[in-house]
Amino acid sequence: MEMIAELFGELSAALVSFFQRPGWEVARDCIDIGVVATLIYWGLAALRGTRAMQMALALGLLFAGYLAAKRFDLLTIWTLLDSLVTYFVLVVVIIFQADIRRALTRVGRGPLFRGQRTARETAVIEEVSRAASSLAAKRIGGLMVFERDADLGEFIEAGTPLDAQVTKELLYSIFIPSFENPMHDGAVIIRDGRVAQAGAFLPLSSGAHDRSLGTRHRAALGITEETDAVVVVVSEERGAVSLCFNGNIVRNLDGDSLREALFGLFYRPQKPQRKGKRGDRTGRSSSGRTSVVPDDDTDDEAIAAAVAKVKNAEETG
């Protein structure tokens, strides 16, 4: 108890001395601390829900043990952990190389560096949902990838370049199995609201998954583990539609639940309009959605809302 009281005494004395300095020095240090805290928060938010989060927690515990051993003079433990802390940066780079690469690919591709999209691009989600439902009804396999912030070019084996409007008829025709149609086995890449290429091959997931998952589902999980892409998968064997994002999979969706899940992933909910204004603003859909480009600040909340909607639809159905 005396040691804990001493620790709190030192902490309170440090806080008092911190705020006794000139105001500009306090403001400068507060800004410095705020920037570092924001960067740490963004890092944790990027890792949340991924396999890297577990490793980050383990490294955090090791570092906390190192500080505790040093504070309480646990010489043996401190000596062992000190050798690990010495190579801490190298260990972090090795363990999180995929996540670091994914984060770097987003630099220069965020909302600050490109124009805002309009609500007209909601038609892309509508067409993909309709195509997935039609493919599932005919038990035709399909793999449709929405490229988001991360450039997929580094992770996929490129297919046939296209630059076409996203329509149900085009997507359906691409996936019709035929010897004369070499694109049906690969994935369709949707970039900037258009079909950029077809017949692309995705990296397979290396994680442990349900044995019932076929190659299409493993490919969908693989690209979502490496990037922030969102993938719609249609199973040829079961005629079922699944949605993959952030290394997760939501299975057995119908057209309505798929559409709502995609809207939840890609759209920021609109704030209620003030009274006295008639109708919706220009560029807004009737459901209050504005952009098919995901917003980093609300992405996790949107994903959680989408998954909740999908699960509720499955339970009630």
Domains of the chain: 2-105 (no CATH), 117-316 (3.40.1700.10)
Q: Is the dihedral of CA 133, 137, 138, 141 positive or negative?
A: positive
pLDDT tens across 248-273, in order?
A: 899 889 888 998 888 888 775 444 44
pLDDT tens across 163-198, in order?
A: 999 999 999 999 998 878 888 888 999 988 899 999
Using CA atoms, how far residue 289 sits from 91, 127, 277, in Å, is 42, 17, 18
Burial status of residue 229 (CB atoms within 10 A of its CB: 0-12, 13-18, 19 or more): buried
Mean pLDDT of the chain: 76
pLDDT tens across 190-205, in order?
A: 988 899 999 999 988 8
pLDDT in the model for residue 39: 85
What pTM was estimated for this model as a whole? 0.58
What is the distance in angstroms between the CA of the first residue and the CA of the last residue of the chain? Answer: 57
Please give the residue that has the higher pLDDT: either 251 or 312: 251
Decide if pLDDT at 108 tops 80: no
φ, ψ for residue 108, nearest 5 deg: 85, -5
Asked if 173 contacts 161 with a C-beta cutoff of 8 angstroms, the reply is: no
The vertex-190 CA angle with 185 and 194, nearest 5°, equals 120
Burial status of residue 238 (CB atoms within 10 A of its CB: 0-12, 13-18, 19 or more): middle
pLDDT tens across 18-72, in order?
A: 788 888 888 888 899 999 999 888 777 766 655 566 677 777 888 888 888 888 8
pLDDT in the model for residue 281: 35
Return the structure tokens found at 314: 């499955």
pLDDT in the model for residue 242: 94
